[in-house]
Chains A and B, each alone.
Chain A
Amino acid sequence: MAKPTEKPHRRAKLMRTWPLLTPAVGVLLLWAFIPLAMTLWFSFQRYNLVDPTTDGFAGFSNYKFLVESPAFLVSIFNELVMVAAVLVITLVLGVAFAVLFDQEFPGRTIARLLVIAPFFVMPTVAALVWKNLLMDPVNGVFAYLARSLGLAPLDWFTHAPMAGVVMIVAWEWVPFATLILLTAMQSLDHQQVEAAKMDGARGPQILRYVILPHLSRPITIVLMMETIYLLAIFAEIFVTTSGGPGNATTTLTYLIYQKALVSFDVGGASAGGVIAVILANIVALFLIRSVARNVDL
């Protein structure tokens, strides 16, 4: 007897939700479509801001020029390395901090705010403070600490530039992961944890069998959102190494930035943008296939 009434109910449900969805979908459609269409158009044009004599149809030459440049493959590799490294660090520390700050201890509120504070600092400033005041091998705080311990200070941006950049970016984004995971921890049923403890489960087991499964959706969310933002990072690179030494810290986004705002080559930058979208979609597809589908999104 339930069946006949279910069908119109479901269709009614669908009908009812459309007006709710239209604003968000409609607005994003415009935002995504119009600029993307223009970028696509520009990518097939020869269009240089400072050289108005270059114009005309470019065919695939912008793409060809970009793909054939020696920095291209390296930039994709660097981009993937940077994003992967930051994701791993922020997720591991994010879970650790979420679990830690979910527990009561004196001054927890203040400590929590301190942990989240890095997220409030502008990336450019964060990079400048880290590079010049902390990591500088002559005048920096880390160099001073190293020397007091009798060690030679590490010249971050000469010998380990990607590590330096990753450290700064991870420091900025750990609070993001912590914030989301900590909020998700609030909805963890602590009775479950108690029950598991009663059954004799110890810390690591509770983590693996109770906490992580509960956090699986938020972790996926953090993963996807951070990936989106991390793929667009360039202020930190610009301030610290300007993509160098050599190509060591040139990511695809940085390469596109150079095309857009140093060469003012709009055609080339647009081609780079299109390639970045394609690559990001591939990465997202890969992430979705391997992670998101396993989790009830």
Chain B
Amino acid sequence: MKASPLQKLIVAVLGWGAALVMFFPVAWMVLTGFKSEIDAVHSPPLLLFHPTLANFGHVIHAGDYLGALTNSIVIALGATVLGLLIAMPGAYAMAFFPNRWTKDLLLWMLSTKMMPAVGVLMPIYLICQKSGLLDTLTGLILVMMLSNLPIIVWMLYTFFKEIPGDIIEASRMDGANALDQLRIVLLPLAGPGIASTALLSIIITWNEAFWSLNLTSSNAAPLTAFIATFSAPEGLFWAKLSAASTLAVAPILIFGWLTQRQLVRGLTFGAVK
């Protein structure tokens, strides 16, 4: 039964309406990056103005954009890959071989995130200081990974639960060992779920602005520190900050777009059944 043209129109209008409303502040921010400072705070707000690249130039020159970008990429990828490696076996075990402690274990893992980071700042700072991990990529990767691990475990667990257990059983009956089961059966089916988890972990790490500011100074400073360089100095700064933020958001936005196709490939349950 196909949807009527009217229904299709309504869906399209609603879909695009939602998209534009949600995206408007981001678009406004990007636009502001191309305005001069005085145009940025002009009232009424300007849609037509003399665009300038001066803000982008200044921001790339004055801050260490490429260095910060590299650090952000290394930290986000490092924390995510490490997190996935540690989390996947655990999530696999809990999803396919649950026992009476599984739920409690999951909830305990989540509870490790209940301490606000700012309450535990000094202990972590002192530990990092004494182990020489301050202002190092390693230190930040470890802290971010530990911070994200409960979320990664939970999300993998959720997506693994979507997969009917009999598929795994069937492959085991066929003689496949655990590693093969993982590789041949599980990964293709849970692929979108794993990709979605990885994407989430990368984005959360990319935007994390507490540990990344407090545990770094000059060597390991990621894009969040880059943005803090242009945030709220004395005087008008919204155009420069918008430019800096556009530069910080662009890589992750592009990455997100490339990964999108993975996410909505769709699980092929039909084929399995």
Residues of A within 8 A of B (CB): 13-14, 16-17, 19-21, 23-25, 27-28, 31-32, 34-36, 38-39, 42, 49, 96-97, 100-101, 103, 105-126, 128-130, 132-134, 138-141, 143-144, 171, 174-176, 179-180, 182-184, 186-187, 189, 194, 197-198, 217-218, 221, 224-225, 228, 231-232, 234-235, 253, 256-257, 260-261, 266, 269-270, 272-274, 276-277, 280-281, 284, 288, 297
Interface pair B118/A31, CB less than 8 Å apart: no
Interface pair A23/B154, CB less than 8 Å apart: no
Which residue in chain A gives the minimum CB-CB distance to B40?
A133
Which residue in chain A gives the minimum CB-CB distance to B102?
A297
Most central of B1, B112, B127, B257 by chain A CB within 10 Å: B112
Bound-state CA distance A103–B14 (Å) is 11
Chain B residues with Cβ below 8 Å from A270 are 119, 122
Interface pair B111/A281, CB less than 8 Å apart: yes
Which residue in chain B gives the minimum CB-CB distance to A147?
B44
Known: A122-B207, A139-B42, A139-B43. Contact between A130 and B266, CB under 8 A? Answer: no
Bound-state CA distance A24–B92 (Å) is 11
**Distance (Å) between the CB of B218 and the closest chain A CB?**
20
Any A CB within 8 A of the CB of B256: yes
Secondary structure at chain A's binding surface: helix, strand, loop or mixed?
Answer: helix
Chain A residues with Cβ below 8 Å from B227 are 122, 124-125
Known: A111-B15, A111-B19, A114-B23. Contact between A281 and B114, CB under 8 A? Answer: yes
Chain A residues with Cβ below 8 Å from B219 are none
Interface pair B155/A175, CB less than 8 Å apart: no
Bound-state CA distance A115–B151 (Å) is 22
Q: In the complex, which residues 161-201 of chain B have their Cβ closer than 8 Å to any Cβ of chain A?
A: 161-162, 178, 192-193, 196, 199-200
Known: A14-B99, A179-B200. Contact between A234 and B209, CB under 8 A? Answer: no
Which residue in chain B gives the minimum CB-CB distance to A29?
B112
Which residue in chain B gives the minimum CB-CB distance to A40?
B123
Known: A23-B90, A217-B158. Contact between A28 and B112, CB under 8 A? Answer: yes
| Interface size classification for chain B | 35 or more
**Distance (Å) between the CB of B256 and the closest chain A CB?**
6
Q: Can you name 18 A-B pairs with beta carbons within 8 Å?
A: A24-B86, A103-B15, A114-B22, A120-B249, A122-B245, A128-B232, A174-B22, A183-B192, A183-B263, A198-B1, A225-B151, A231-B114, A256-B116, A260-B122, A269-B122, A272-B116, A276-B115, A297-B106
Any A CB within 8 A of the CB of B81: no
Bound-state CA distance A91–B126 (Å) is 39
Interface pair B203/A120, CB less than 8 Å apart: yes
Any A CB within 8 A of the CB of B54: no
Chain B residues with Cβ below 8 Å from A144 are 43-45
CB < 8 Å neighbour of A256 from B32, B119, B252, B261 = B119
**Distance (Å) between the CB of B56 and the closest chain A CB?**
15
Any A CB within 8 A of the CB of B74: no
**Distance (Å) between the CB of A189 and the closest chain B CB?**
7
Chain A residues with Cβ below 8 Å from B228 are 124
Interface pair B19/A114, CB less than 8 Å apart: yes
Q: Mark B58-79, 1 if CB is under 8 A from A, else 0.
A: 0000000000000000000000
Interface pair A288/B107, CB less than 8 Å apart: yes
Any A CB within 8 A of the CB of B120: yes
Interface pair A27/B86, CB less than 8 Å apart: yes
Bound-state CA distance A27–B89 (Å) is 13
Chain B residues with Cβ below 8 Å from A261 are 118, 121
Any A CB within 8 A of the CB of B41: yes
CB < 8 Å neighbour of B45 from A101, A140, A232 = A140
**Distance (Å) between the CB of A236 and the closest chain B CB?**
11
Interface pair B25/A130, CB less than 8 Å apart: yes
Known: A108-B15, A128-B241. Contact between A117 and B26, CB under 8 A? Answer: yes
Bound-state CA distance A201–B18 (Å) is 26
Chain A residues with Cβ below 8 Å from B97 are 13-14, 16-17
Chain B residues with Cβ below 8 Å from A174 are 22
Interface pair A277/B87, CB less than 8 Å apart: no
Interface pair B154/A171, CB less than 8 Å apart: no
Interface pair A257/B118, CB less than 8 Å apart: yes
Which residue in chain A gives the minimum CB-CB distance to B23?
A114
Any A CB within 8 A of the CB of B80: no
Interface pair B121/A25, CB less than 8 Å apart: no
CB < 8 Å neighbour of B119 from A175, A274, A297 = A274
Chain B residues with Cβ below 8 Å from A221 are 154-155, 158
Any A CB within 8 A of the CB of B12: yes
Bound-state CA distance A39–B232 (Å) is 32
Q: In the complex, which residues 249-273 of chain B have their Cβ closer than 8 Å to any Cβ of chain A?
A: 249, 252-253, 256-257, 260-261, 263-264, 266-267, 269
